[in-house]
A and B are shown apart, each in its own frame.
Chain A
Amino acid sequence: MEYLNIVFDEVYKILFLLVPVLVSVAMIVWLDRRIWAFVQKRQGPNVVGPFGLLQSLADALKYIFKEMIIPSSSNKVIFILAPIVTMTLALIAWAVIPFSATQVLADINVGILYLFAVSSLGVYGIIMGGWASNSKYPFLGAIRSAAQMVSYEVSIGVIIINVLLCVGSLNLNDIVIAQQNVWFVIPLFPMFVIFFISALAETNRPPFDLPEAEAELVAGYQTEYSGMMYAMFWLGEYANILLMCAMGAILFLGGWLSPIELYPFTLVPGAIWLILKILLLFFLFALVKAIVPRYRYDQLMRLGWKVFLPFSLIWVVLTASYLFYFNLLPVS
Protein backbone atom coordinates (compact mmCIF):
# COMPACT_ATOMS: atom_id res chain seq x y z
CA MET A 1 0.00 0.00 0.00
CA GLU A 2 2.80 2.38 0.92
CA TYR A 3 4.45 1.73 -2.43
CA LEU A 4 1.22 2.41 -4.24
CA ASN A 5 0.84 5.70 -2.40
CA ILE A 6 4.34 6.76 -3.42
CA VAL A 7 3.68 5.75 -7.01
CA PHE A 8 0.37 7.63 -7.13
CA ASP A 9 2.00 10.68 -5.59
CA GLU A 10 4.72 10.68 -8.23
CA VAL A 11 2.30 10.06 -11.08
CA TYR A 12 0.19 12.97 -9.89
CA LYS A 13 3.26 15.23 -9.82
CA ILE A 14 4.38 14.09 -13.26
CA LEU A 15 0.93 14.70 -14.75
CA PHE A 16 0.85 18.11 -13.15
CA LEU A 17 4.10 18.92 -14.96
CA LEU A 18 3.50 17.23 -18.32
CA VAL A 19 -0.02 18.38 -19.08
CA PRO A 20 0.88 22.09 -18.79
CA VAL A 21 4.02 21.47 -20.86
CA LEU A 22 2.01 19.82 -23.64
CA VAL A 23 -0.68 22.51 -23.58
CA SER A 24 1.95 25.24 -23.66
CA VAL A 25 3.62 23.49 -26.60
CA ALA A 26 0.34 23.75 -28.50
CA MET A 27 0.03 27.42 -27.54
CA ILE A 28 3.63 28.14 -28.44
CA VAL A 29 3.10 26.79 -31.95
CA TRP A 30 0.28 29.27 -32.36
CA LEU A 31 2.46 32.07 -30.93
CA ASP A 32 5.27 31.13 -33.29
CA ARG A 33 3.02 31.32 -36.33
CA ARG A 34 1.45 34.58 -35.17
CA ILE A 35 4.81 36.32 -34.59
CA TRP A 36 6.07 35.01 -37.90
CA ALA A 37 2.98 36.38 -39.60
CA PHE A 38 3.12 39.79 -37.92
CA VAL A 39 6.74 40.30 -38.94
CA GLN A 40 5.69 39.68 -42.54
CA LYS A 41 2.57 41.90 -42.25
CA ARG A 42 0.18 38.97 -42.39
CA GLN A 43 -2.53 37.93 -39.94
CA GLY A 44 -1.50 34.35 -39.27
CA PRO A 45 -3.96 31.84 -37.77
CA ASN A 46 -6.77 34.02 -36.39
CA VAL A 47 -9.97 32.12 -37.15
CA VAL A 48 -10.32 29.24 -34.67
CA GLY A 49 -11.22 30.58 -31.25
CA PRO A 50 -10.36 34.05 -29.87
CA PHE A 51 -7.27 35.41 -31.74
CA GLY A 52 -6.96 31.95 -33.30
CA LEU A 53 -5.82 30.55 -29.94
CA LEU A 54 -7.42 27.16 -30.60
CA GLN A 55 -5.73 26.71 -33.98
CA SER A 56 -3.29 24.13 -32.58
CA LEU A 57 -6.16 22.09 -31.14
CA ALA A 58 -7.85 22.07 -34.53
CA ASP A 59 -4.57 21.01 -36.13
CA ALA A 60 -4.14 18.24 -33.57
CA LEU A 61 -7.66 16.95 -34.31
CA LYS A 62 -6.87 16.94 -38.01
CA TYR A 63 -3.68 14.95 -37.41
CA ILE A 64 -5.47 12.42 -35.22
CA PHE A 65 -8.06 11.66 -37.87
CA LYS A 66 -5.58 11.43 -40.70
CA GLU A 67 -4.30 8.07 -41.85
CA MET A 68 -0.87 6.97 -40.69
CA ILE A 69 0.98 5.73 -43.74
CA ILE A 70 3.90 3.38 -43.17
CA PRO A 71 5.95 2.95 -46.35
CA SER A 72 6.10 -0.71 -47.33
CA SER A 73 9.88 -0.75 -47.78
CA SER A 74 10.56 1.07 -44.53
CA ASN A 75 12.04 -0.50 -41.44
CA LYS A 76 8.76 -0.61 -39.58
CA VAL A 77 9.82 -0.94 -35.95
CA ILE A 78 12.35 1.87 -36.13
CA PHE A 79 10.00 3.95 -38.28
CA ILE A 80 7.36 3.87 -35.56
CA LEU A 81 9.91 4.21 -32.76
CA ALA A 82 11.47 7.41 -34.12
CA PRO A 83 8.66 9.90 -33.28
CA ILE A 84 8.16 8.18 -29.93
CA VAL A 85 11.84 8.67 -29.09
CA THR A 86 11.73 12.33 -30.11
CA MET A 87 8.64 13.03 -28.04
CA THR A 88 9.79 11.07 -24.97
CA LEU A 89 13.20 12.73 -24.89
CA ALA A 90 11.65 16.16 -25.25
CA LEU A 91 9.35 15.50 -22.29
CA ILE A 92 11.62 13.66 -19.81
CA ALA A 93 14.05 16.55 -19.72
CA TRP A 94 11.42 18.69 -17.96
CA ALA A 95 11.82 16.54 -14.84
CA VAL A 96 14.81 18.55 -13.62
CA ILE A 97 13.67 22.08 -14.52
CA PRO A 98 13.20 24.01 -11.24
CA PHE A 99 10.11 26.23 -11.19
CA SER A 100 10.99 27.56 -7.74
CA ALA A 101 13.30 26.59 -4.89
CA THR A 102 11.03 23.67 -3.99
CA GLN A 103 8.90 23.08 -7.08
CA VAL A 104 11.06 20.62 -8.97
CA LEU A 105 10.22 17.04 -9.85
CA ALA A 106 13.74 15.62 -9.47
CA ASP A 107 16.27 17.84 -7.73
CA ILE A 108 19.33 15.82 -8.76
CA ASN A 109 22.95 16.76 -8.21
CA VAL A 110 23.89 16.51 -11.88
CA GLY A 111 20.85 18.36 -13.24
CA ILE A 112 22.66 20.31 -15.92
CA LEU A 113 24.48 17.19 -17.12
CA TYR A 114 21.12 15.41 -17.34
CA LEU A 115 19.70 18.23 -19.46
CA PHE A 116 22.76 18.18 -21.68
CA ALA A 117 22.63 14.40 -22.05
CA VAL A 118 18.93 14.37 -22.94
CA SER A 119 19.32 17.17 -25.46
CA SER A 120 22.25 15.32 -27.04
CA LEU A 121 20.11 12.18 -27.34
CA GLY A 122 17.53 14.18 -29.30
CA VAL A 123 19.44 13.52 -32.51
CA TYR A 124 18.42 9.84 -32.43
CA GLY A 125 14.77 10.49 -33.20
CA ILE A 126 15.83 12.30 -36.35
CA ILE A 127 18.44 9.75 -37.45
CA MET A 128 16.07 6.84 -36.82
CA GLY A 129 13.24 8.50 -38.72
CA GLY A 130 15.50 9.41 -41.61
CA TRP A 131 17.09 6.02 -41.95
CA ALA A 132 13.98 3.91 -41.38
CA SER A 133 12.03 5.78 -44.08
CA ASN A 134 14.30 4.13 -46.66
CA SER A 135 14.12 7.12 -48.93
CA LYS A 136 16.70 9.57 -50.20
CA TYR A 137 15.48 12.91 -48.86
CA PRO A 138 14.81 11.77 -45.30
CA PHE A 139 18.21 10.09 -45.22
CA LEU A 140 20.01 13.21 -46.41
CA GLY A 141 18.13 15.22 -43.79
CA ALA A 142 19.07 12.75 -41.07
CA ILE A 143 22.76 12.85 -41.97
CA ARG A 144 22.77 16.63 -42.07
CA SER A 145 21.14 16.88 -38.68
CA ALA A 146 23.47 14.30 -37.11
CA ALA A 147 26.50 16.34 -38.13
CA GLN A 148 24.86 19.63 -37.18
CA MET A 149 23.61 18.63 -33.76
CA VAL A 150 26.85 16.93 -32.74
CA SER A 151 28.85 20.01 -33.75
CA TYR A 152 26.74 22.50 -31.87
CA GLU A 153 26.51 20.31 -28.77
CA VAL A 154 30.25 20.81 -28.35
CA SER A 155 29.95 24.57 -28.10
CA ILE A 156 26.91 24.30 -25.81
CA GLY A 157 28.97 22.02 -23.55
CA VAL A 158 31.79 24.55 -23.36
CA ILE A 159 29.33 27.37 -22.64
CA ILE A 160 27.86 25.31 -19.79
CA ILE A 161 31.39 24.92 -18.40
CA ASN A 162 31.65 28.71 -18.35
CA VAL A 163 28.54 28.98 -16.22
CA LEU A 164 29.56 26.09 -13.98
CA LEU A 165 32.89 27.79 -13.25
CA CYS A 166 30.95 30.68 -11.74
CA VAL A 167 28.55 28.44 -9.81
CA GLY A 168 30.59 25.52 -8.52
CA SER A 169 27.70 23.06 -8.67
CA LEU A 170 25.88 21.02 -11.30
CA ASN A 171 22.54 21.36 -9.52
CA LEU A 172 20.09 23.57 -11.43
CA ASN A 173 18.72 25.16 -8.27
CA ASP A 174 22.25 26.07 -7.17
CA ILE A 175 22.83 27.63 -10.59
CA VAL A 176 19.75 29.79 -10.15
CA ILE A 177 20.62 30.78 -6.57
CA ALA A 178 24.16 31.72 -7.62
CA GLN A 179 22.62 34.45 -9.81
CA GLN A 180 20.97 36.24 -6.91
CA ASN A 181 23.36 39.18 -7.12
CA VAL A 182 23.75 39.41 -10.85
CA TRP A 183 22.33 37.31 -13.66
CA PHE A 184 25.00 35.56 -15.68
CA VAL A 185 23.75 37.25 -18.81
CA ILE A 186 25.67 40.38 -17.74
CA PRO A 187 29.17 39.04 -17.00
CA LEU A 188 28.90 36.27 -19.61
CA PHE A 189 27.00 38.16 -22.30
CA PRO A 190 29.01 36.83 -25.28
CA MET A 191 28.37 33.31 -24.01
CA PHE A 192 24.64 34.05 -23.86
CA VAL A 193 24.65 35.13 -27.50
CA ILE A 194 26.57 32.02 -28.55
CA PHE A 195 24.29 29.82 -26.46
CA PHE A 196 21.25 31.32 -28.13
CA ILE A 197 22.62 30.74 -31.63
CA SER A 198 23.77 27.22 -30.74
CA ALA A 199 20.33 26.49 -29.32
CA LEU A 200 18.83 27.53 -32.65
CA ALA A 201 21.13 25.06 -34.39
CA GLU A 202 20.54 22.33 -31.81
CA THR A 203 16.76 22.50 -32.23
CA ASN A 204 16.96 22.76 -36.04
CA ARG A 205 15.29 26.13 -36.09
CA PRO A 206 15.77 28.66 -38.89
CA PRO A 207 18.31 29.90 -39.93
CA PHE A 208 19.79 26.46 -39.23
CA ASP A 209 16.85 24.28 -40.31
CA LEU A 210 18.92 22.44 -42.89
CA PRO A 211 17.72 18.96 -41.85
CA GLU A 212 14.28 19.93 -43.11
CA ALA A 213 15.16 22.57 -45.66
CA GLU A 214 12.01 22.34 -47.73
CA ALA A 215 13.50 23.86 -50.85
CA GLU A 216 16.16 21.14 -51.03
CA LEU A 217 14.91 18.12 -49.12
CA VAL A 218 11.09 18.20 -49.34
CA ALA A 219 10.60 18.00 -45.56
CA GLY A 220 13.85 16.33 -44.55
CA TYR A 221 13.62 13.46 -42.11
CA GLN A 222 9.82 13.75 -41.74
CA THR A 223 9.01 13.45 -45.44
CA GLU A 224 7.49 9.98 -45.12
CA TYR A 225 5.60 10.67 -41.90
CA SER A 226 1.91 11.41 -41.75
CA GLY A 227 -0.94 11.67 -39.31
CA MET A 228 -0.23 11.30 -35.60
CA MET A 229 3.40 10.30 -36.08
CA TYR A 230 4.11 13.56 -37.89
CA ALA A 231 2.30 15.43 -35.11
CA MET A 232 4.52 13.71 -32.53
CA PHE A 233 7.66 14.85 -34.32
CA TRP A 234 6.26 18.32 -34.41
CA LEU A 235 5.29 18.33 -30.72
CA GLY A 236 8.67 16.93 -29.77
CA GLU A 237 10.43 19.61 -31.78
CA TYR A 238 8.54 22.42 -30.09
CA ALA A 239 8.92 20.84 -26.64
CA ASN A 240 12.66 20.77 -27.34
CA ILE A 241 12.62 24.44 -28.31
CA LEU A 242 10.82 25.30 -25.07
CA LEU A 243 13.36 23.20 -23.18
CA MET A 244 16.26 25.06 -24.77
CA CYS A 245 14.57 28.35 -23.82
CA ALA A 246 14.19 27.06 -20.26
CA MET A 247 17.86 26.07 -20.22
CA GLY A 248 18.84 29.54 -21.40
CA ALA A 249 16.59 31.14 -18.79
CA ILE A 250 18.12 29.04 -16.01
CA LEU A 251 21.74 29.39 -17.10
CA PHE A 252 21.75 33.07 -17.96
CA LEU A 253 18.54 34.85 -16.97
CA GLY A 254 18.29 33.79 -13.33
CA GLY A 255 15.68 31.05 -13.66
CA TRP A 256 12.85 31.60 -11.20
CA LEU A 257 14.44 34.65 -9.55
CA SER A 258 12.52 37.89 -9.87
CA PRO A 259 14.39 40.63 -11.75
CA ILE A 260 14.28 43.03 -8.79
CA GLU A 261 14.25 41.79 -5.22
CA LEU A 262 11.71 44.40 -4.07
CA TYR A 263 8.28 44.15 -2.50
CA PRO A 264 5.78 43.99 -5.38
CA PHE A 265 8.01 41.77 -7.47
CA THR A 266 8.72 39.20 -4.79
CA LEU A 267 5.00 38.49 -4.43
CA VAL A 268 4.93 36.94 -7.89
CA PRO A 269 5.71 33.20 -7.64
CA GLY A 270 8.96 31.99 -9.17
CA ALA A 271 7.22 29.81 -11.70
CA ILE A 272 5.66 32.89 -13.32
CA TRP A 273 9.05 34.57 -13.67
CA LEU A 274 10.54 31.45 -15.23
CA ILE A 275 7.64 31.20 -17.70
CA LEU A 276 8.01 34.88 -18.61
CA LYS A 277 11.73 34.39 -19.24
CA ILE A 278 11.07 31.31 -21.34
CA LEU A 279 8.52 33.28 -23.35
CA LEU A 280 10.97 36.13 -23.86
CA LEU A 281 13.57 33.73 -25.23
CA PHE A 282 10.94 32.03 -27.38
CA PHE A 283 9.91 35.41 -28.77
CA LEU A 284 13.52 35.86 -29.91
CA PHE A 285 13.47 32.37 -31.43
CA ALA A 286 10.35 33.24 -33.39
CA LEU A 287 11.73 36.59 -34.50
CA VAL A 288 14.91 34.99 -35.78
CA LYS A 289 12.81 32.54 -37.79
CA ALA A 290 11.03 35.41 -39.46
CA ILE A 291 13.91 37.74 -40.23
CA VAL A 292 16.98 35.62 -41.03
CA PRO A 293 17.61 33.70 -44.27
CA ARG A 294 18.79 30.11 -44.15
CA TYR A 295 22.50 29.35 -43.78
CA ARG A 296 24.43 27.34 -46.30
CA TYR A 297 25.63 24.01 -44.91
CA ASP A 298 29.38 24.71 -45.07
CA GLN A 299 28.83 28.08 -43.42
CA LEU A 300 26.93 26.34 -40.64
CA MET A 301 29.77 23.90 -40.00
CA ARG A 302 32.35 26.67 -40.16
CA LEU A 303 30.41 28.74 -37.65
CA GLY A 304 30.19 25.84 -35.22
CA TRP A 305 33.74 24.56 -35.32
CA LYS A 306 35.86 27.52 -36.36
CA VAL A 307 34.10 30.39 -34.62
CA PHE A 308 31.99 29.28 -31.67
CA LEU A 309 34.20 26.50 -30.33
CA PRO A 310 37.49 28.47 -30.18
CA PHE A 311 35.73 31.58 -28.90
CA SER A 312 33.94 29.79 -26.08
CA LEU A 313 37.12 27.88 -25.18
CA ILE A 314 39.05 31.14 -24.91
CA TRP A 315 36.23 32.49 -22.79
CA VAL A 316 36.56 29.49 -20.44
CA VAL A 317 40.23 30.35 -19.93
CA LEU A 318 39.33 34.01 -19.37
CA THR A 319 36.59 33.22 -16.86
CA ALA A 320 38.78 30.76 -15.00
CA SER A 321 41.73 33.16 -14.84
CA TYR A 322 39.53 36.04 -13.72
CA LEU A 323 37.91 33.98 -10.98
CA PHE A 324 41.27 32.60 -9.89
CA TYR A 325 43.08 35.94 -9.89
CA PHE A 326 40.42 37.76 -7.91
CA ASN A 327 39.92 34.76 -5.66
CA LEU A 328 36.24 34.46 -6.57
CA LEU A 329 36.23 30.74 -7.29
CA PRO A 330 33.23 29.09 -5.62
CA VAL A 331 35.09 26.74 -3.29
CA SER A 332 32.96 24.96 -0.76
Chain B
Amino acid sequence: MIAHAIFFYTFSIIAVVSAIMVTASKNTVHSVFFLILDFISISCLFIMIGAEFLGMIMLIVYVGAVAVLFLFVVMMLNVAQQKNQWFAAKDSSKHIPIGLIISTLIFVEIIIVIGGWKYKPDLFDVNSSLSQTSVSNTHSLGQILYTDYIHVFQISGMILLVAMIGAIVLTFRQRSGVKRQSYIKQISRERAEGVEVLEVQSNKGVKIDD
Protein backbone atom coordinates (compact mmCIF):
# COMPACT_ATOMS: atom_id res chain seq x y z
CA MET B 1 0.00 0.00 0.00
CA ILE B 2 2.89 2.37 0.74
CA ALA B 3 4.31 1.99 -2.75
CA HIS B 4 0.83 2.59 -4.16
CA ALA B 5 0.49 5.80 -2.18
CA ILE B 6 3.96 6.98 -3.20
CA PHE B 7 3.17 6.44 -6.88
CA PHE B 8 -0.26 8.06 -6.55
CA TYR B 9 1.10 11.21 -4.92
CA THR B 10 4.02 11.44 -7.35
CA PHE B 11 1.76 11.27 -10.38
CA SER B 12 -0.88 13.59 -8.96
CA ILE B 13 1.70 16.19 -7.90
CA ILE B 14 3.25 16.07 -11.39
CA ALA B 15 -0.23 16.41 -12.90
CA VAL B 16 -1.17 19.43 -10.82
CA VAL B 17 2.19 21.18 -11.13
CA SER B 18 2.34 20.69 -14.88
CA ALA B 19 -1.27 21.90 -15.21
CA ILE B 20 -0.24 25.09 -13.42
CA MET B 21 2.87 25.38 -15.58
CA VAL B 22 0.75 25.17 -18.75
CA THR B 23 -0.65 28.58 -17.93
CA ALA B 24 2.37 29.98 -16.11
CA SER B 25 5.22 29.21 -18.49
CA LYS B 26 6.16 32.08 -20.76
CA ASN B 27 7.00 30.06 -23.80
CA THR B 28 3.97 28.66 -25.62
CA VAL B 29 5.79 25.56 -26.81
CA HIS B 30 6.82 24.84 -23.22
CA SER B 31 3.14 25.13 -22.29
CA VAL B 32 2.27 22.41 -24.78
CA PHE B 33 5.04 20.19 -23.43
CA PHE B 34 3.67 20.65 -19.91
CA LEU B 35 0.22 19.80 -21.23
CA ILE B 36 1.65 16.56 -22.62
CA LEU B 37 3.28 15.80 -19.26
CA ASP B 38 -0.10 16.45 -17.65
CA PHE B 39 -1.84 14.00 -20.01
CA ILE B 40 0.78 11.36 -19.37
CA SER B 41 0.56 11.61 -15.59
CA ILE B 42 -3.23 11.52 -15.72
CA SER B 43 -3.14 8.38 -17.83
CA CYS B 44 -0.78 6.90 -15.23
CA LEU B 45 -3.40 7.72 -12.59
CA PHE B 46 -6.05 6.00 -14.72
CA ILE B 47 -3.89 2.90 -14.91
CA MET B 48 -3.37 3.00 -11.14
CA ILE B 49 -7.11 2.82 -10.41
CA GLY B 50 -7.37 -0.17 -12.75
CA ALA B 51 -8.77 1.64 -15.78
CA GLU B 52 -5.97 0.41 -18.01
CA PHE B 53 -7.93 0.71 -21.25
CA LEU B 54 -8.86 4.34 -20.57
CA GLY B 55 -5.28 5.16 -19.66
CA MET B 56 -3.89 3.68 -22.86
CA ILE B 57 -6.55 5.31 -25.03
CA MET B 58 -5.77 8.61 -23.32
CA LEU B 59 -2.10 8.16 -24.26
CA ILE B 60 -2.86 7.18 -27.85
CA VAL B 61 -5.52 9.77 -28.60
CA TYR B 62 -4.45 12.81 -26.58
CA VAL B 63 -0.69 12.47 -26.38
CA GLY B 64 -0.09 10.55 -29.58
CA ALA B 65 -2.37 12.50 -31.88
CA VAL B 66 -4.06 15.60 -30.47
CA ALA B 67 -1.04 17.06 -28.68
CA VAL B 68 1.18 16.44 -31.72
CA LEU B 69 -1.14 18.56 -33.83
CA PHE B 70 -1.24 21.16 -31.05
CA LEU B 71 2.52 21.30 -31.01
CA PHE B 72 2.57 21.42 -34.77
CA VAL B 73 0.30 24.47 -34.87
CA VAL B 74 1.97 26.28 -31.97
CA MET B 75 5.43 25.83 -33.45
CA MET B 76 4.29 27.05 -36.85
CA LEU B 77 2.51 30.14 -35.50
CA ASN B 78 5.59 31.30 -33.61
CA VAL B 79 3.48 32.76 -30.81
CA ALA B 80 6.29 32.38 -28.27
CA GLN B 81 7.15 36.04 -28.47
CA GLN B 82 3.54 37.14 -28.45
CA LYS B 83 2.81 35.43 -25.20
CA ASN B 84 5.88 37.02 -23.72
CA GLN B 85 4.69 40.44 -24.73
CA TRP B 86 1.26 39.80 -23.34
CA PHE B 87 2.72 39.11 -19.93
CA ALA B 88 5.21 41.97 -20.04
CA ALA B 89 2.78 44.60 -21.34
CA LYS B 90 1.85 47.33 -18.91
CA ASP B 91 -1.89 47.11 -19.51
CA SER B 92 -1.93 43.39 -18.76
CA SER B 93 -3.30 44.24 -15.32
CA LYS B 94 -6.57 45.13 -17.05
CA HIS B 95 -7.17 41.49 -17.86
CA ILE B 96 -6.64 40.25 -14.34
CA PRO B 97 -10.00 41.29 -12.80
CA ILE B 98 -11.97 39.85 -15.72
CA GLY B 99 -10.04 36.63 -15.51
CA LEU B 100 -10.55 36.46 -11.77
CA ILE B 101 -14.32 36.98 -12.09
CA ILE B 102 -14.67 34.28 -14.75
CA SER B 103 -12.54 31.79 -12.88
CA THR B 104 -14.43 32.38 -9.62
CA LEU B 105 -17.70 31.82 -11.49
CA ILE B 106 -16.47 28.54 -12.94
CA PHE B 107 -15.10 27.48 -9.55
CA VAL B 108 -18.46 28.18 -7.85
CA GLU B 109 -20.30 26.27 -10.58
CA ILE B 110 -18.06 23.27 -10.10
CA ILE B 111 -18.58 23.43 -6.32
CA ILE B 112 -22.37 23.52 -6.83
CA VAL B 113 -22.31 20.58 -9.21
CA ILE B 114 -20.04 18.44 -7.07
CA GLY B 115 -21.92 19.43 -3.91
CA GLY B 116 -25.14 18.04 -5.37
CA TRP B 117 -23.44 14.78 -6.31
CA LYS B 118 -24.76 11.74 -4.49
CA TYR B 119 -22.90 8.48 -4.56
CA LYS B 120 -24.91 5.33 -4.86
CA PRO B 121 -24.43 3.37 -1.65
CA ASP B 122 -23.37 0.27 -3.55
CA LEU B 123 -20.70 2.13 -5.58
CA PHE B 124 -17.87 1.13 -3.34
CA ASP B 125 -18.89 -2.53 -3.41
CA VAL B 126 -18.91 -2.43 -7.23
CA ASN B 127 -15.55 -0.73 -7.17
CA SER B 128 -13.93 -3.36 -5.03
CA SER B 129 -15.57 -6.24 -6.86
CA LEU B 130 -14.29 -4.97 -10.21
CA SER B 131 -10.70 -5.76 -9.39
CA GLN B 132 -11.57 -9.32 -8.40
CA THR B 133 -13.50 -10.37 -11.49
CA SER B 134 -11.61 -12.04 -14.29
CA VAL B 135 -13.37 -10.03 -16.99
CA SER B 136 -10.89 -7.58 -18.42
CA ASN B 137 -11.43 -3.87 -18.59
CA THR B 138 -11.72 -3.77 -22.36
CA HIS B 139 -14.17 -6.63 -22.42
CA SER B 140 -16.60 -5.10 -19.93
CA LEU B 141 -16.39 -1.68 -21.61
CA GLY B 142 -17.19 -3.23 -24.97
CA GLN B 143 -20.06 -5.21 -23.54
CA ILE B 144 -21.68 -2.08 -22.12
CA LEU B 145 -20.93 0.27 -25.03
CA TYR B 146 -22.25 -2.01 -27.76
CA THR B 147 -25.39 -3.20 -25.98
CA ASP B 148 -26.97 -0.77 -23.52
CA TYR B 149 -25.51 2.42 -24.91
CA ILE B 150 -25.26 1.56 -28.59
CA HIS B 151 -27.43 4.51 -29.71
CA VAL B 152 -25.55 7.06 -27.63
CA PHE B 153 -22.31 5.59 -28.90
CA GLN B 154 -23.40 5.79 -32.53
CA ILE B 155 -24.72 9.32 -32.12
CA SER B 156 -21.47 10.54 -30.59
CA GLY B 157 -19.64 8.97 -33.51
CA MET B 158 -21.91 10.81 -35.93
CA ILE B 159 -21.32 14.10 -34.11
CA LEU B 160 -17.57 13.63 -34.43
CA LEU B 161 -17.94 12.81 -38.11
CA VAL B 162 -20.03 15.93 -38.70
CA ALA B 163 -17.47 18.03 -36.85
CA MET B 164 -14.69 16.56 -38.96
CA ILE B 165 -16.49 17.16 -42.24
CA GLY B 166 -17.36 20.68 -41.08
CA ALA B 167 -13.74 21.47 -40.32
CA ILE B 168 -12.64 20.16 -43.70
CA VAL B 169 -15.34 22.11 -45.55
CA LEU B 170 -14.46 25.32 -43.69
CA THR B 171 -10.77 25.15 -44.47
CA PHE B 172 -10.99 23.68 -47.94
CA ARG B 173 -10.25 26.05 -50.76
CA GLN B 174 -9.59 25.35 -54.38
CA ARG B 175 -6.37 27.05 -55.34
CA SER B 176 -5.84 28.07 -58.91
CA GLY B 177 -2.55 27.70 -60.71
CA VAL B 178 -1.53 24.54 -58.88
CA LYS B 179 0.00 21.91 -61.12
CA ARG B 180 -1.51 18.60 -60.13
CA GLN B 181 -0.08 15.23 -61.00
CA SER B 182 -2.33 12.41 -62.02
CA TYR B 183 -0.69 9.11 -61.18
CA ILE B 184 -2.84 7.19 -63.61
CA LYS B 185 -1.81 9.50 -66.44
CA GLN B 186 1.84 9.27 -65.47
CA ILE B 187 1.85 5.50 -65.32
CA SER B 188 -0.25 4.93 -68.42
CA ARG B 189 2.00 7.07 -70.62
CA GLU B 190 3.54 4.99 -73.32
CA ARG B 191 6.56 5.36 -75.50
CA ALA B 192 4.53 6.14 -78.59
CA GLU B 193 3.00 9.32 -77.14
CA GLY B 194 6.04 10.38 -75.15
CA VAL B 195 8.86 10.05 -77.62
CA GLU B 196 8.95 11.10 -81.21
CA VAL B 197 11.85 10.35 -83.48
CA LEU B 198 12.35 12.96 -86.14
CA GLU B 199 14.56 13.08 -89.14
CA VAL B 200 16.36 16.40 -88.74
CA GLN B 201 17.56 18.02 -91.87
CA SER B 202 20.60 20.21 -91.61
CA ASN B 203 20.03 23.98 -91.40
CA LYS B 204 16.29 23.51 -90.93
CA GLY B 205 15.80 22.64 -87.27
CA VAL B 206 12.77 20.99 -85.70
CA LYS B 207 9.51 22.53 -84.61
CA ILE B 208 8.53 21.38 -81.14
CA ASP B 209 4.94 21.87 -80.13
CA ASP B 210 4.10 21.98 -76.47
Contacts and interface: CB of A to CB of B under 8 A. Distances in A.
A113 B29 contact: no
A149 B56 CA distance: 18
B172 to A, nearest CB: 15
Q: DSSP class of B's interface residues: helix, strand, loop or mixed?
A: helix
Given A116-B60, A117-B59, A131-B29, A110 B52 contact: yes
Interface in A129-170: 131, 139, 142-143, 146-147, 150, 153, 157, 169-170
Nearest to B76: A143
Contacts of B69: 150
B68 A146 contact: yes
A121 B75 contact: no
B138 A153 contact: no
Contacts of A332: 139
Contacts of A123: 64, 68
B72 interface: yes
Interface in A97-112: 108-110
The interface size bin for chain A is: 20 to 34
B161 to A, nearest CB: 14
Given A114-B56, A131-B29, A150-B69, A109 B3 contact: no
Interface string B42-61: 00000000001100110110
A116 B72 CA distance: 21
Given A109-B137, A146-B72, A153 B64 contact: yes
B41 to A, nearest CB: 14
B50 to A, nearest CB: 10
Contacts of B3: 3
A117 B64 contact: yes
Interface in A6-28: none
A57 interface: no
A143 B75 contact: yes
A120 B64 contact: yes
Interface string A78-115: 10000000000000000000000000000011100110
B65 interface: yes
B63 A121 contact: yes
Given A3-B3, A78-B33, A113 B72 contact: no
Interface centre among B27, B65, B68, B139 (most CB of A within 10 A): B68
Interface string B137-163: 111000000000000000000000000
A251 interface: no
B56 A120 contact: no
A110 B137 contact: yes
Main SS at interface, chain A: helix
A143 B72 CA distance: 7
Contacts of A169: 136
A234 interface: no
A230 interface: no
A109 B71 contact: no
A9 to B, nearest CB: 14
Contacts of A78: 33
Given A3-B3, A109-B138, A131-B29, A121 B53 contact: no
Contact of A121 (B59, B72, B138, B139): B59
B68 A113 contact: no
B151 to A, nearest CB: 20
Given A109-B138, A110-B137, A124 B36 contact: yes
Given A110-B52, A110-B56, A113-B56, A170 B138 contact: yes
Nearest to B65: A150
A311 to B, nearest CB: 16
A124 to B, nearest CB: 7
Contacts of B63: 117, 120-121
A210 interface: no
A127 interface: yes
Contacts of A113: 53, 56-57, 60
Interface of A: 3, 75, 78, 108-110, 113-114, 116-117, 120-121, 123-124, 127-128, 131, 139, 142-143, 146-147, 150, 153, 157, 169-170, 332
9 contacts: A109-B138, A110-B138, A113-B60, A114-B56, A116-B60, A117-B64, A143-B72, A146-B72, A157-B60
